């Protein structure tokens, strides 16, 4: 169904001076906590702990999918298919065009904490029950149940046919999707694994024990131990042989994985936020971070210098995503869940900005005193002038 409580508003008070538009859930019943947040070229998806899934995109008002569960904990999108996992352990497959549930997949006995979609027909779920399940989402059936962990599976990553899972039992495991079996058991951390990253060449695991370990996906051997942080490692990004990590002590660190040796030192470590870092993305030479201090920042990935702060301080930053020329942020502000979209941070001159496109239209900055809305085919385009 379409959400009648949806509202859009322009906000040109960004601390960095960048135009934004805002997708706001105004209904008092929608004041829950954001549990997951993801985007594709066509959709932005936000799940809340009230059992609802909010889908934005395609030039329409938001759609609300009701899982009939107490809380939706995870979601992933492939094309027009959305797969969600809930507190009761159910995995649901949705068609975003019709807004209909196609399949309810049962088997997990506890919260589904992570969902990944590896191809148009395959989804992987990780649960607090200690298992992973591989699903055929077209047919609505379970292909494999992956057992071996002895506690809650907290994190999940994949590349090609391989899945990496990180668990509260202090181990990570490498699995084959097609074979449905464990290939390697990764041991060495002294506390639970909070986050994993996998780029096909290296596996990185970040732990509550404050360390990061680098592993070979072929052999399962530990290649390096990094100790750049003084608190729980909360986020990891692996790109082009460079690991970017963030932690509960508010620091961000980068390390080159080329010629890495055990206990190697990072390239640099910066004090990014005043408290725990809750979101991290690396894209096009920039690091995007969000913290429990309520701030969103953009950094130069090469040297760690601050490029911009996006927007004003909020109550909570749930996630930060960079997509095309936009910075998309899920936040809590004034008791509401909001998705705020910032225009390209490289643009500082007063000009009209067409978000969701790659075109910049130079006009008299005084021409529009407020938002103008144009509906391109299958796209929403929001126009703003930069603040004077």
Task: Give the CATH number for residue 105.
Answer: 2.130.10.10
Q: What is the pLDDT of residues 255-273, one digit of tens each?
A: 998 876 655 678 889 998 9
Q: For residue 251, tell me if it sits in a domain.
A: yes
Q: For residue 116, tell me if it sits in a domain.
A: yes
pLDDT of residue 262: 55
Residues 18 and 346 sit within 8 Å (Cβ to Cβ): no
Q: For residue 27, tell me if it sits in a domain.
A: no
Q: What is the pLDDT of residues 230-247, one digit of tens each?
A: 999 999 999 988 999 999
Domain that holds residue 92: 32-336
Q: What is the pLDDT of residues 32-67, one digit of tens each?
A: 688 998 888 888 898 988 899 988 876 667 789 999
pLDDT of residue 249: 94
> What is the phi/psi pair of residue 29, to 5°?
-75, -10
Terminal Cα-to-Cα distance of the chain (whole angstroms) = 39
Q: For residue 159, tell me if it sits in a domain.
A: yes
Q: For residue 164, tell me if it sits in a domain.
A: yes
* CA dihedral sign of residues 231, 237, 241, 242: negative
Q: How many domains does the chain have?
A: 1
Percent over 70 (pLDDT), the chain? 77
Residues contacting residue 202 through CB under 8 Å, at least 6 positions apart: 214, 215, 216, 217, 223, 238, 241, 243, 257
pLDDT of residue 63: 87
Q: For residue 356, tell me if it sits in a domain.
A: no
Cα radius of gyration (the chain):
21
Strands 212-215 and 203-207: antiparallel
Q: What is the mean pLDDT of residues 196-214?
A: 97
Residues 200 and 223 sit within 8 Å (Cβ to Cβ): no
Q: What is the mean pLDDT of residues 320-330?
A: 78
Q: For residue 376, tell me if it sits in a domain.
A: no
Q: For residue 153, tell me if it sits in a domain.
A: yes
């Amino acid at each position: 169904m379409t959400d009648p409580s949806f509202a859009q508003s322009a906000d040109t008070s960004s601390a960095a001076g960048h135009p934004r538009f805002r997708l706001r859930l105004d209904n008092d019943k929608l004041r829950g906590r954001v549990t997951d947040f993801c985007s594709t070229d066509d959709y932005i998806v936000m799940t809340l702990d009230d059992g609802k899934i909010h889908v934005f995109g395609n030039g329409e008002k938001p759609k609300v999918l009701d899982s009939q569960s107490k809380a939706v904990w995870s979601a992933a999108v492939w094309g027009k298919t959305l797969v969600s996992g809930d507190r009761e352990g159910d995995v649901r497959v949705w068609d975003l065009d019709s807004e209909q549930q196609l399949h309810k997949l049962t088997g997990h006995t506890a919260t589904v904490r992570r969902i990944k979609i590896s191809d148009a027909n395959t989804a992987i779920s990780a649960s607090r029950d200690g298992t992973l399940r591989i699903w055929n989402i077209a047919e609505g059936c379970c292909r494999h149940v992956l057992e071996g962990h002895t506690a809650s599976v907290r994190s999940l990553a994949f590349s090609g046919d391989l899945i990496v899972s990180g668990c509260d039992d202090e181990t990570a495991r490498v699995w084959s999707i097609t074979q449905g079996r464990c290939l390697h058991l990764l041991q060495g951390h002294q506390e639970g694994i909070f986050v994993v990253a996998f780029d096909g060449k290296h596996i990185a695991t970040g732990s509550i024990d404050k360390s990061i370990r680098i592993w070979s996906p072929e052999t399962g051997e530990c290649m390096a131990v990094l100790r750049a942080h003084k608190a729980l490692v909360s986020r990891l990004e692996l790109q082009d042989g460079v690991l970017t990590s963030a932690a509960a002590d508010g620091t961000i660190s980068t390390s080159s994985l080329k010629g890495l040796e055990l206990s190697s030192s990072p390239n640099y470590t910066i004090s990014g936020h005043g408290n725990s870092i809750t979101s991290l993305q690396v894209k096009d030479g920039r690091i995007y971070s969000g913290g429990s201090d309520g701030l969103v920042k953009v950094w130069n990935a090469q040297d760690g210098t601050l490029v911009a702060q996006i927007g004003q301080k909020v109550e909570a930053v749930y996630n930060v995503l960079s997509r095309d020329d936009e910075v998309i942020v899920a936040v809590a502000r004034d008791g509401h869940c909001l998705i705020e979209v910032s225009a390209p941070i490289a643009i500082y001159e007063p000009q009209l900005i067409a978000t969701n496109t790659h075109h910049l239209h130079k006009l008299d900055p005084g021409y529009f005193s407020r938002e103008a809305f144009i509906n391109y085919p299958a796209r929403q385009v929001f126009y703003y002038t930069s603040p004077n």
